[in-house]
Structure 1
Amino acid sequence: MTTVVLPSNITILEVKQPTEAMIDQAVKLTNALQVGDPSCKAWTGGNLELLPLLMRSIIKATWLCEGAGVTYVATDEEGALVGYSQWIPSGRDLFDSEDQRQFGFYEFMEKMSDEGKKYFEESLGRDFPKFLDEAFGIPQSQIKTHFCNLVMVQPEHQGKGIATTMFKMAYEKAKQTGAVVTLSTGSEDNLTNDLQIVVYEHIGMTLKGHQVFQSPWGEWSSWAFAWETNPKEP
């Protein structure tokens, strides 16, 4: 496993009870980093003004509902959020309970166009899960793995071991149940995607699959990675 030395002014902890200010910072960071991702344009029905609402609903549902997720937060010496990651443990899925859906999911769906709603439900409810299951070779993989739902680090703090440290923390937690650590990622350009592949493989993950999806608002891609916590002997 990769050895990482964090900058002395960075602290990374699992946070179970975030302040509203911390949630706001996470939403702001996520929106800034994700707004150029073609998948976000597709999942908001072409209306990127809805992206902050979608991301807030995802972040709060994962963070505030007991047992729904694990959140690691990286802060600087002043306590400002410089990065975070959210993980859905095996046995759970995003928005799989009414209390999770109450954190803005219904409001997001109400503001979507009919075409956007249809695509969102078909894409996230059928096509995307099918791709992940085939890539990982695990039926219902989003429920049966330790799935990285979001990982965000401020650009000026990237390359300093923050994401790697959070992945190592998630790996150790997943080992407790023997669940595979999984991730799906994409971005707006091939260069960034190539760099992401190098980064995640350096952490310890293995690229398992790639698929291009079509939508009325353009195509988007996803790369699937997995990290065995209980690797089989050769």
Structure 2
Amino acid sequence: MAPPNVTIELIQKPTEPLAEEAVQLFASLVVGDPCMMALTGGDWSILPDLGRVLVYSLSSCPGVSHMFTARDETGALVGFTLFSLPGEPILPTQEKGRVSAYISKLSPEGRQYFAETMGKEVPQSSDEMFGIEGAERNAYWCSLAMVRADYQGRGVAKAMFELAYKEAAKTGAAVALTTTNIRNVPIYEKIGLKLYGERTFSSQWVEWTLGYFARDWGTGSHNVNIVNEGSQCTSTIMSH
């Protein structure tokens, strides 16, 4: 159970100010994360830009994504999760431009790594780990899950996921995600997700590991970014 001062909501149409709040929370939580080091090419100054790519690519697409928020009694955002619904994602032209702008800030090595890893290796690893082709697009996929540090371990993530499970049941799809933070393994297991395995990825900057989780994978058609009670779920990303 989340603290009594925290309100959990499903936001049908996230606003730009909300998306920016989510970006700032993301950036505050994932500094030092090995995966983030690899995806920024070791340049932490562009971490907020990566956050905008990950957040806006879903929050700007009502009807193909769900955003759950946790706010305290002052209205401050203390947590959020972003899920993509089952189906082929459609990225708006504006967001394609945001992705291109981010990639242009990477070094040549960073651009190649981002394209190969996020475009090919991570999605393929999800298919292999879950044993289902197109796992990311066939699940109710958690791309990001973040909880502010002072609210971690207090039931906030669990409360958001309990709402997400209800929405996922309406689609008949499994809930799935990956995490870049090993300390999230027991957290996800406690909230009803099963660990399918782990895989380590190499880069010239750092090695990093993904843990693969799913719930109710055998009950329907299903669909990696970033989860963390302070981690990222992937969209392929992660959680915190």
Tell me if both proteins adopt one fold, taking TM over 0.5 as the criterion. Answer: yes
Q: Please report the RMSD computed on the Cα atoms of aligned residues, expressed in angstroms.
A: 1.7
Q: 1:58 deviation in Å?
A: 1.6
Q: 1:57 aligns with which of 43, 53, 59?
A: 53
Identity percentage of aligned residues: 37
Q: Answer yes or no: is the 8 Å Cα contact 1:178–1:230 preserved in 2.
A: no
In 2, Cα distance between equivalents of 1:114 and 1:38:
19
Q: How does 1:150-229 map to 2 (within 5 A)?
A: 150-187=144-181, 193=182, 195-228=183-216
Q: Which range moves more in the overlay, 116-125 or 98-107? A: 98-107
1:116 aligns with 2:114: no
Q: What residue identity is the alignment partner of 2:135?
A: S
Q: Answer yes or no: is the 8 Å Cα contact 2:61–2:92 preserved in 1.
A: no
Counterpart secondary structure, 1:104: helix
1:104 aligns with 2:98: yes
Q: Answer yes or no: is the 8 Å Cα contact 2:129–2:197 preserved in 1.
A: yes
Question: Can you give the 5+ residue segments of structure 1 that lack an aligned partner in the other structure?
Answer: 188-192
Q: 1:78 deviation in Å?
A: 1.3
1:81 aligns with 2:69: no
Q: Answer yes or no: is the 8 Å Cα contact 2:82–2:145 preserved in 1.
A: yes
Q: 1:135 aligns with which of 126, 129, 132?
A: 129
Q: Which range moves more in the overlay, 162-171 or 82-91? A: 162-171
Which structure has the larger Rg over C-alpha atoms?
Answer: 1
Question: Can you give the 5+ residue segments of structure 2 that lack an aligned partner in the other structure?
Answer: 221-240
Between Structure 1 and Structure 2, how many residues are aligned?
220
Q: Answer yes or no: is the 8 Å Cα contact 1:181–1:226 preserved in 2.
A: yes
1:40 aligns with 2:28: no
Going from structure 1 to structure 2, the CA distance change for 1:221 and 1:230 (only over 3 Å counts) comes to: closer
TM-score between the two structures when normalised by the length of structure 2 = 0.86
Q: 1:97 deviation in Å?
A: 2.3
TM-score between the two structures when normalised by the length of structure 1 = 0.88
In 2, Cα distance between equivalents of 1:58 and 1:186:
15
In 1, Cα distance between equivalents of 2:207 and 2:77:
32
Q: Answer yes or no: is the 8 Å Cα contact 2:81–2:146 preserved in 1.
A: yes
The list of structure 1 runs, each at least 4 consecutive aligned residues, that deviate by more than 6 angstroms after superposition, is none
Counterpart secondary structure, 1:73: strand
